[in-house]
Amino acid sequence: MLTSDYVPGDSVVHRARPLIKVGLLFLVCTWLFVREGWLSLAAAGLVLVAFFAIARIPPKIVVAAIRPALWVLGLVFVAQLFLADWRFAGFVVLRFAVMILAASLLTLTTRTSDLVEAIERALGRILPARSAEAISLALSLCMRFIPRVRDIFEEVKNAQRARGLGTSWRALVTPTIVRALKSADEIARAIVARSPDGPHVR
């Protein structure tokens, strides 16, 4: 569940610093709206194709990246057909496709851990150490909590089934949340008790 779609490689695109990639993505997407036209779209599209080729992303993965958006893009196309003409409809949908693929390229060529690290480092530079530390803690805690919450949910589901209760949403969600909150409070107490400067007295 916690694996991103990273495609291993050693190209320039893979090796570029993660925050540079995020910055470029932001610039390209803004530019596509500011300089709205076929020329800028074609330019962005060509650069994107070149980058996909340099990074050696298999075509199958490119198709898989755009597939979840196809349904919505089809809807937008039909709406634009009625509003404007087929050319403008095509433009709007292609612009979405370019932006979605550009963003996918970032995900496909950057390890999640590298991106998280880059974000933490950048935040550490602009935020006081204490806040940056808090953000790192929140990120790693969340990754730890995902399997824990899933386990709690499974336990609650089995318990309700054993009692012969139906699996209504409310009967499942409420006990899961209360048990998750209790477990979170235990972890919070453990962190405070083990922190180097000891528990603070309120």
Partner 1 sequence: MTNDTTRDIVLIALFAAIMAVLGVFPPITLPLIGVPITAQSLGVMLAGGILGARRGALSMVLFLVLVAVGLPLLSGGRGGFAVFLGPSGGFLVGWIVAAFVVGLTIERLWPRLGHVNAFIACVFGGIIVLYAIGIPWIAFAAEISIAQAFVGSMPFVPGDLIKAVIASAVIVTVARSYPVITSP
Spell out, one character per residue from 8 to 37, where the chain touches partner 1: x when CB under 8 A holds, - when not: --------------x--x---x--------
Which residues, numbered 37-66, are part of the site for partner 1 (CB under 8 A)? Answer: 65
Binding segment toward partner 1, per CB under 8 A, in 9-17, 39-47, 54-62, 170-178: 170-178
Query: Which of 24, 62, 92, 94 contacts partner 1 by CB under 8 A?
Result: 92
Spell out, one character per residue from 119 to 138, where the chain touches partner 1: x when CB under 8 A holds, - when not: x----------x--xx--xx
Alpha-carbon span 23 to 34, nearest angstrom: 16
**Quick one: 12 or 84, whose CB is closer to partner 1?**
84
Report DSSP state, residue 69: G
- The C-alpha angle with vertex 154 and arms to 148 and 155, in degrees rounded to 5, equals 90
167 near partner 1, judged by CB under 8 A: no
Residues 6+ apart with CB under 8 A from 131: 123
Q: Is 179 left (phi over 0), alpha (psi -120 to 50) or beta?
A: alpha
Look-up: residue for tokens 């150490």?
A: 129
Residues 6+ apart with CB under 8 A from 175: 156, 159, 160
Look-up: residue for tokens 């963003």?
A: 103
3 near partner 1, judged by CB under 8 A: yes
Of the candidates 53, 161, 160, which has an alpha carbon nearest to the alpha carbon of residue 101?
53
148 near partner 1, judged by CB under 8 A: yes
**Per-residue exposure over 48-68, b if at least 16 CB sit within 10 Å of its own CB, e if not:** beebbeebebeeeebeebeee
88 near partner 1, judged by CB under 8 A: yes
Binding site for partner 1 (CB under 8 A): 1-6, 22, 25, 29, 65, 68-69, 72-73, 75-76, 79-80, 83-84, 88, 92, 96, 99-104, 106-107, 110, 112, 115-116, 119, 130, 133-134, 137-139, 141-142, 144-146, 148-150, 153, 169-170, 173-174, 177-178, 180-182, 184-185, 187-188, 191-192, 195, 199-200, 202
